Structure 1
Amino acid sequence: MKFSVKSFFSKLWQKIRNFNIQDCRVSFVKGMESLQANGKSLFVTVILAIAVMLLTCLAVFFATVRGPEKVLVPEVEGKELAQALLEMQVKELYPKIQLRYDEQPSGTILAQSPSSGAIVKAGTRVNLTVSRGAIVSEVGNYVGLKFDDVKIDLTTMFTGSSRPLILLAEPVYKASLEEAGTILEQDPPSGTKISDPVTVNLIVSRGPNFDNTSVPRLTGKSVNEILALLPNLKVVLDFTGHKAAEGEKENSVVAQQQFENQYVENYTRMSVEMAFPAKPKDDLIYGIFEAELAQFPYPVAMTVECIESNGQRSQLAALNHTGGHFSVPYAVSEGSELILRVAGKVAKRITVNE
């Protein structure tokens, strides 16, 4: 087949003549529209995929962090500790244990918080008070001990206990050569086993108060002389005072109670009247320190301390006293503080002013 240049160009020209520019334009437009339509679909698909992924993540997150379920607190009070722990474990509750001496058997639940029936979240701590058992199992031997010391020891021992296992009845006092306040007998005896709270009856010495003492002669004596005599006196002096009248000696005892006999029973009360200066004398203020105390069945050691305004301390008086109305005279500088101590404990304090 021979190639003809003329024939080639003739066919090319024929094709050019047959080319429709409008059809080309339409095809281009359709292609662009198809591309745009496909792009929107792709964009929408991507957005939907991202949304689904976010929703899935949120669902997983909230499913993971959702709060624990609510549970009912069981009643464990009165039960053994082991049983209580098992019941709490089922409810996914965690115990916080406090131990306390009590007459209930060791390991018994005495109290719980929150109380039974409360609705709480799983994992909540429940406070449990658990018995350590009785602090003592038998009555001790108190004969020969001081009643006050035994009373304090038992009170301290059972502090915080719902029911003390050992109670002291009001003691019976009797005269004895033993020092006042010493326990002479007890019932029940030492070694008695304790199953329930027991009351101990005691017989306590009053001291040798069956002895008599001579009535002191105090008329004419000054405040300082009286205070110096107090430690050795076995009578209880009830002091009153007034401003010295004309003819009366200032700072002295002007009258004292009289008795039929020269001797009286130990710690018999005796009234004493004193005359004080009408005004402070030698920068000293005169008066009577008074207090109302419990009535003691035997004499108790008491002191009056003086703290001057400059901080200097001194003991103003020391004596044995059976309680009730208490009084001692004083002559101290203005602003001094007087402190009454009964068996070493502060019972009253005053500040002296003119």
Structure 2
Amino acid sequence: MSKLSEKIKNNSLEILSSLNNNKKTFLVVVILALVFMFTLCWITFFATVRGPEQVMVPNVEGKELTTALLELQAKELYPKIQLKYTDNPDDAGKILNQNPEGGSIVKAGRRVNLTVSRGVILDHVENYIGQNYDDVKINLQTMFTGSSRPLIVLAEPSYKSDQSEAGTILAQDPPEGTIISNPVTVKLIVSKGAEYENTRVPAIVGFDFQKLISTISSSRLVFDFTAHIAENGENEGTVTSQETASGEYVPNYSRISAEIALPKKQSDDEVMGLFTAQLPEYPYAVEMTLESSKNGVKQTLITLRHKGGNVTIPYIAEKDSELILSIAGRSVARQTVD
């Protein structure tokens, strides 16, 4: 037993002596092992997080949406779709343009913007009978805003006396439901109101501005006003004379001349005046609105019906405000209050 113990002791001493003699070699081996392990980890890490491969974007313009999606999917590209109306009904469901362009080299996984046609806004002629001509005209202009080739164009309408309100569409050609494959010109017959309806001329002499404005807004007459500075004996801001005798019956929207007297000195805040504008002659009386605008705040002064041409409207408005005359929501004349 003692011999075995002695032998183990001697072997241990030999191993320790050997390690002590080869210390440098041992350290070199350890360092090389560490370097090898670090290099292996570095290669493994970058192999794992390597970026997506680069691919060529396919050219899908003019192709059906389903075909384009399959081609992008094959390249591991993802679509971002925007819809847009076009003038050609045959474009419906096709790719109008793409970004990036076909042939570009990008990384897999990138988004490709596709603009896809929704087809035409309208594929048939609607029913316009019974609607107001101005409303239909504005709706179509709005619908085809930005379109190089509107699918529906309104021809200059024909006007006809009728019991329906002036401006009402009585007939159309082509009829409702006509399929639109190319731009269509729609011909309309529009009411100009009853031909023989008459209106009684009111007695407006002596009316102040407020009462005068109220009368104008509800009247079926067109008043042509002139103005002068109030003379001695005249009440400022009133009607001093009218051409046609009160009580007389005249055809609807006949022109009635009248004179108003303006104040010799206006107040510091409000101004009494006469808005004037020269507009095209309309075949029937259209609705007009006069508004005042100051510091972004608008106020409606009067709404009336007028046949165009020479337009004169009395007003009371804030000093330095802007007066805006509009027809069917569209500004046709402006004037500054000073």
Q: What TM-score results when the alignment is normalised by the length of structure 1?
A: 0.70
Q: Give, in whole Å, the separation in 2 of the partners of 1:81 and 1:182.
A: 43
Does residue 322 of the first structure (1) align with residue 307 of the second (2)?
yes
Counterpart secondary structure, 2:135:
helix
226, 235, 239: which one aligns with 1:240: 226
Partner of 1:165: 151
Q: Using the TM superposition, name which of 36-45 and 160-169 deviates more.
A: 160-169
Q: CA deviation at 1:118?
A: 2.8
1:282-319 residue CA offsets vs partner (Å, 9 max, x unmatched)? x9753224456665432123455799xxx9x9x86453
Q: Structure 1 residues 167 and 64 mapped into 2: Cα distance closer, same or farther (>3 Å)? A: farther
Q: Is the 8 A contact 1:172 1:204 kept in 2?
A: yes
Q: Give, in whole Å, the separation in 2 of the partners of 1:195 and 1:49.
A: 79
Partner of 2:38: 54
Q: Is the 8 A contact 1:104 1:131 kept in 2?
A: no
Q: CA deviation at 1:47?
A: 0.6
**Paired letter, 1:128:** L
Q: Is the 8 A contact 2:135 2:328 kept in 1?
A: no
89, 97, 114: which one aligns with 2:81: 97
Q: Is the 8 A contact 2:134 2:328 kept in 1?
A: no
Q: Structure 1 residues 285 and 127 mapped into 2: Cα distance closer, same or farther (>3 Å)? A: closer
Q: Is the 8 A contact 2:155 2:185 kept in 1?
A: yes
**Paired letter, 2:215:** L
Does residue 201 of the first structure (1) align with residue 183 of the second (2)?
no
Q: Structure 1 residues 285 and 96 mapped into 2: Cα distance closer, same or farther (>3 Å)? A: closer
Partner of 2:175: 189
Q: Structure 1 residues 228 and 162 mapped into 2: Cα distance closer, same or farther (>3 Å)? A: closer
Q: CA deviation at 1:263?
A: 7.1
Partner of 1:21: none
Partner of 1:67: 51
**Paired letter, 2:30:** V
Q: CA deviation at 1:235?
A: 3.1
Counterpart secondary structure, 2:90:
coil
**Paired letter, 1:54:** F
Does residue 88 of the first structure (1) align with residue 72 of the second (2)?
yes
Q: Structure 1 residues 60 and 318 mapped into 2: Cα distance closer, same or farther (>3 Å)? A: closer
Partner of 2:163: 177
Point out where structure 2 has 5 or more consecutive residues left out of the alignment.
1-14
Q: CA deviation at 1:62?
A: 1.7
Q: CA deviation at 1:84?
A: 1.0
Q: What is the RMSD computed on CA atoms of the aligned residues? A: 4.2
Partner of 1:278: 264
Identity, in percent, stands at 54
Corresponding pairs, count: 316
Q: Is the 8 A contact 1:100 1:161 kept in 2?
A: no
Q: Give, in whole Å, the separation in 2 of the partners of 1:301 and 1:138.
A: 30
1:196-248 residue CA offsets vs partner (Å, 9 max, x unmatched)? 23222222222235656566665554434433432454332232322223454
1:236-315 correspondence runs (5 A): 236-246=222-232, 248-256=234-242, 266-280=252-266, 285-290=271-276, 296-302=282-288
The structure with the larger Rg is 1
Q: Give, in whole Å, the separation in 2 of the partners of 1:280 and 1:342.
A: 29
1:252-300 residue CA offsets vs partner (Å, 9 max, x unmatched)? 33455579xx77654344443322231358x975322445666543212
Q: Structure 1 residues 127 and 162 mapped into 2: Cα distance closer, same or farther (>3 Å)? A: farther
Q: Is the 8 A contact 1:101 1:161 kept in 2?
A: no
Q: CA deviation at 1:91?
A: 2.0
Q: CA deviation at 1:187?
A: 1.9
Q: Is the 8 A contact 1:175 1:210 kept in 2?
A: no
Point out where structure 1 has 5 or more consecutive residues left out of the alignment.
1-30
